[in-house]
Structure 1
């Protein structure tokens, strides 16, 4: 396949250009949003037949994204693929019959025949991907965690609501039968008044200290890094299947805290009924946080890093969540005055055992019931309603993860633990810690700014 100045011959003979630089990134994004407001590109619900196939585009098709695109290709038409690594984009596009390939995702968003997009880029890209997609009139399936920071999450919620989009967060345990039944039992008082929640002691991200390697042909490393200052390219940072991979590196991810925590702490939020809120306090105990460098001699491991000091949170009703002693990284254990319920991926059990064995009789609280995470999103697109892991749910669950990292980072700044950081879940700010508020967002390179107004 012949290329000239990043001009990519797409499948079927159409030629699309990926030539964009960091200087005009924001300008192009604003133009995309203006076009979206001028003319809605998605068919209204009344114009979409019940059996009409939805047309999708894939943004970011690495390890997770390629699997998602291929899964959705069974029931949808995949029109275009975008990835900053062009050889991978071309390979995935060929496998699903997509006719267009882009290195710049905003060109994919310009395609008026695309109804919705699947976003599986590195976590630091999710916010701009989602905001631009909403502005372009596309519905969104975004991998978890929804965003890299708390402020980013609120901006994404605002964009999705403003442009009336349907967003499903990739927190697929919300569509699991065991997880649903477990949280239904908790919400309907099967273990009495809740007192504690036990979750995993997730690892915070590491700092990359790796030597420079040659950038693979067809990879735009500068754009891959997004808002973060680009470290020297190294394969083990870029490749998601490597050790440690970007998912454990702070410029690109919140580490295991936000990656696996987006599953386990999402179960805590669901079982506590906090889908539009969160904890009131967060604090640490033990020695202050000491960052860890990931080096060739001591990579640290995938989903590994520092998991100290220990973190605690207090929810309304004086329910304390301890971020240790949990049943595994995909779930939590709820403890009440009459027993406990454990909810993890594909598993729901109680102590005493008969609590889980007894079906709920006429439960007062009814949770959203989804049996297939992907199909739930597609059906909600047709019916123009919120899915089980809607944008507010994704944002609030990711926020709990971010609070865990922030509590640790504050202990590093102050040199002490034990301070009760007061969290205002309505205004999404700490009321007693300027040190904590500085971590509500992250530094950004010019051209990758988060819009004040979406």
Structure 2
């Protein structure tokens, strides 16, 4: 546990106030180890600390680990859980899920993992919650990882910021444009460290592609082509009996009331809630938060966005197009000319670059043969998406996919959906964050929420 108030007997209470990116945050300036060394020197006696007190070998000392709560331990959350259980800087102390079986399994998996690290072979110290509010009320938590359906992201993230927790939230950042901006406001107001789960920014192939584009290796960038699926739509489901152990009212939360159906709440990418407009923006936001995000990064648009969005010629067809102020376009395409698009495909006056997970190719080949020069663009090299978040929790710096980055990317994605749903060209003011000249389309910038949930 890292917090000063929870370690009062072991840590000095000296604090300093530092400005980071215009945000003033407080930090402890005297660590537990410094305090222990000073105390030992004062009595002129050697300080002997058993290895088990500092953690077993590769583990960080218990008092220096980041204490973490997991909110949502389904298909994405369980993957994060497995990864983080093996992380030496982290101690998972609580999990939350509205599915009792998933919650129980996550608690058992966590405690069995930590038990295996102990000489005694036993461990009890991970609590399970149905309500995220109870988890957030704990004073021994440093941070939370949120991996729930999209319609819950804003409410839980804002509550976590208000509770003083640092946050990792799965992408896409929010269900609406206004929710995304509210999340930024809450994170800044409460000086939290927030990592959006668009983890491709921490992958070297995507970083290198954006460095080459921004360094002019393909000449003047003309267009970007992204291969992702279509928007979400309204969908009807037959009523089924609610599965035992599932808090269905809590799963729905701020979404409109609907009868239970197993597919409605399934995390299956071929169907499930990701395809339903009440809970998600479909693949435009789900995969757009990955691939459109890389387009935004290459364009240097982390604090801006497109100015015009044109829908495809036919519903759910290819051709959704974003136009930026400099004239560059970014489009949703399965093919560009005779080339089948894989991931993100950049077209310039002097060459082309294609990037996807584990894939980076250029035309001509020489574009990436020569290393970047000192005067070319070098982007931040992330040590890994989770690790970058943990490093920033300690340094109080903003991570590679800060909440503002997530906000700008998901805003572009939602504007694409609005253009598709209304079948109209959308004109957007990225500075004032408003749709220009179309009040009807502007209503899609936010959604009504079922009580008592508010942002």
State the match for 1:16 in structure 2: none
State the match for 2:134 in structure 1: 107
1:140-159 correspondence runs (5 A): 140-159=167-186
Higher RCO, 1 or 2 (CA under 8 Å, sep at least 6)? 1
Cα distance change of structure 1 residues 201 and 140 upon mapping to structure 2, 3 Å threshold = closer
1:70-81 correspondence runs (5 A): 70-75=82-87, 76-81=90-95
- 1:172 shift after superposition: 1.0
State the match for 1:338 in structure 2: 350
Cα distance change of structure 1 residues 251 and 172 upon mapping to structure 2, 3 Å threshold = same
Alignment match of 2:199 (pick from 167, 172, 186): 172
Q: Does 1:317 align with 2:363?
A: no
Cα distance change of structure 1 residues 212 and 178 upon mapping to structure 2, 3 Å threshold = same
1 CA distance for matches of 2:183 and 2:341? 26
Cα distance change of structure 1 residues 213 and 188 upon mapping to structure 2, 3 Å threshold = same
User: Could you list the runs of 5+ residues in structure 1 that have no partner in the other structure?
Assistant: 1-41, 290-306, 412-416
Query: Could you list the per-position Cα deviations for residues 391-420 of structure 1 after superposition, in whole angstroms to 9, with x for gaps in the alignment?
Result: 111111111111110101121xxxxx5x3x
Alignment match of 1:230 (pick from 254, 257, 262): 257
What SS class does the counterpart of residue 78 from structure 1 fall into? strand
Contact 2:312 2:420 in 1 (8 A): no
Aligned length: 384
1:53-452 correspondence runs (5 A): 53-75=65-87, 76-97=90-111, 98-200=125-227, 202-241=229-268, 243-287=270-314, 289=315, 307-308=316-317, 310-324=319-333, 325=335, 331-411=343-423, 417=424, 419=425, 421-450=426-455
Contact 1:263 1:330 in 2 (8 A): no
Contact 1:331 1:344 in 2 (8 A): yes
Which TM-score applies when normalising by structure 2?
A: 0.81
- 1:218 shift after superposition: 1.8
Q: CA RMSD in A?
A: 2.0
Contact 1:82 1:108 in 2 (8 A): yes
Which segment is superposed worse, 238-247 or 217-226?
238-247
2 CA distance for matches of 1:49 and 1:164? 23
Runs ≥4 residues deviating over 4 A: 47-51, 326-330
Contact 1:177 1:371 in 2 (8 A): no
- 1:266 shift after superposition: 0.8
Cα distance change of structure 1 residues 43 and 84 upon mapping to structure 2, 3 Å threshold = farther
Which segment is superposed worse, 181-190 or 96-105?
96-105
Contact 1:69 1:118 in 2 (8 A): no
Which segment is superposed worse, 154-163 or 317-326?
317-326
Contact 1:207 1:249 in 2 (8 A): yes
- 1:342 shift after superposition: 1.2
Query: Could you list the per-position Cα deviations for residues 189-230 of structure 1 after superposition, in whole angstroms to 9, with x for gaps in the alignment?
Result: 111111111112531113221111111222111111121112
Query: Could you list the per-position Cα deviations for residues 103-153 of structure 1 after superposition, in whole angstroms to 9, with x for gaps in the alignment?
Result: 100100000001000000000000011100000000001100011111000
2 CA distance for matches of 1:393 and 1:226? 26
1 CA distance for matches of 2:69 and 2:92? 6
Contact 1:330 1:345 in 2 (8 A): no
Which TM-score applies when normalising by structure 1?
A: 0.81
2 CA distance for matches of 1:274 and 1:328? 26
2 CA distance for matches of 1:77 and 1:123? 26
Contact 1:194 1:319 in 2 (8 A): yes
What SS class does the counterpart of residue 56 from structure 1 fall into? strand
Cα distance change of structure 1 residues 442 and 193 upon mapping to structure 2, 3 Å threshold = same
1 CA distance for matches of 2:272 and 2:432? 34
- 1:242 shift after superposition: 7.1
In our comparison, the structure showing a higher alpha carbon Rg is: 2
What SS class does the counterpart of residue 326 from structure 2 fall into? coil
